[in-house]
Structure 1
Amino acid sequence: MSPIPAENACNPSRNSAPAILVLGIGNVLWADEGFGIRCIELLQRRYEFAPNVQLMDGGTQGLYLVHHVQGADRLIIFDAIDYGLEPGTMRVIENEDVPKYLGAKKMSLHQTGFQEVLALAQLTESYPEQVVLIGCQPEELEDYGGSLRAPVRAAVEPALQCALER
């Protein structure tokens, strides 16, 4: 055991790696809406991460995710977002712009809830230092059932690479 330098003794967070939460939100029952969850599933199957990195299937949990977000220094979110672009188009949005895009055309109940999660984390002054949204334009917004459509499925690998580079 090594001693903690005096300047770090009152700030233990300086002695550890930042807490990183990689969160997939969405609903696999709504085909392309499952983009975020499918990304997390692949990361869980393919990689092992350091203890400071938490992968989470946030599903449609909404406000139940707030304590996880409050505990993160860095937050990376995968989600299907209706940007009004070509299906399968991936966009990366960062920091203060993230809530605006989570409020784009609502496709499921989780989005309103997740906007509230971010607002509550900010209100309680427990907001991550960095927030990254890796969003993919779904092909079909009104479909119940099935797997990801081809353009959205093709965006999964680039989305994973984007997250791994951060």
Structure 2
Amino acid sequence: MKKVLVLGVGNIICKDEGLGVHAVKELMNEYDFPNNVELMDGGTLGVSLMGKLTDCDLLIVVDAVLGGHEPGSVYHLINNDLRKSKAFRDSMHQTDLVDTLLLCELAGKRPECIVIGMEPYNWQDLGSELSPKIKERLPLLKQMIIEELNTQKIKVVKR
């Protein structure tokens, strides 16, 4: 059975930068997941996540994405589009996830990676609350994560 890690990343004290962490924490409270699926608050851990990444077959990163669209727009990214995710570019994260995935590859175990993200409204100011627009659109982001799991033939149960 494929091991899946749903990883919420971002800095929760920089408003919408932490939207991935907020989404994953809400999913943890709202759904039951099969044993092969782990949800994790990855925060800004960067390269220290390498052990978790090499232990999974599929990595679903949930993050703020700078894609140039209206705040609240949702994204499903693979391959070269990964760099639109804040975790895959120079940001407040310790190191970007592309570098961490390259280290996983050098170690002989790089997971398949998908980013499900949302265009932030305010990621530059300090504050632990999401902006109203992003908070309103967070259910759509969570639904995309559930749909991706369903696409992977992983069934989750709403509590």
Q: What TM-score results when the alignment is normalised by the length of structure 1? A: 0.81
Match of 2:122 among 140, 153, 158: 140
User: Aligned letter for 2:29?
Assistant: R
**Residues 51-75 of structure 1: CA deviation (Å, up to 9, x unaligned):** 1110000001111101111111111
Q: Secondary structure at the match of 1:125?
A: coil
User: Aligned letter for 1:136?
Assistant: M
In the alignment, is the contact (CA less than 8 A) between 2:11 and 2:93 conserved in 1? no
**Residues 6-28 of structure 1: CA deviation (Å, up to 9, x unaligned):** xxxxxxxxxxx110000000011
2:50 is matched with which residue?
Answer: 66
Q: How many residues align?
A: 147
Distance 1:49-1:140 versus aligned 2 partners, 3 A rule: same
Q: Secondary structure at the match of 1:27?
A: coil
Match of 1:82 among 37, 58, 66: 66
Identity of aligned residues (%): 31
Alpha-carbon distance in structure 2 between the residues aligned to 1:105 and 1:84: 15
In the alignment, is the contact (CA less than 8 A) between 2:85 and 2:117 conserved in 1? no
User: Aligned letter for 1:147?
Assistant: E
In the alignment, is the contact (CA less than 8 A) between 1:102 and 1:114 conserved in 2? no
Q: What TM-score results when the alignment is normalised by the length of structure 2? A: 0.84
2:156 is matched with which residue?
Answer: none
User: Aligned letter for 1:38?
Assistant: H
Gaps of 5+ in 2: 149-159
Distance 1:146-1:56 versus aligned 2 partners, 3 A rule: closer
The within-5 A match list for 1:77-156 is 77-94=61-78, 96-102=79-85, 106-110=90-94, 112-128=95-111, 130-156=112-138
Q: CA RMSD in A?
A: 1.8
In the alignment, is the contact (CA less than 8 A) between 1:66 and 1:121 conserved in 2? yes
Distance 1:76-1:113 versus aligned 2 partners, 3 A rule: same
Q: Secondary structure at the match of 1:109?
A: coil
The structure having more radius of gyration, on CA atoms, is 1
Structure 1 outlier segments of 4+, above 4 Å? none
Q: Secondary structure at the match of 2:13?
A: helix
Gaps of 5+ in 1: 1-16
**Residues 75-95 of structure 1: CA deviation (Å, up to 9, x unaligned):** 11100122222111111102x
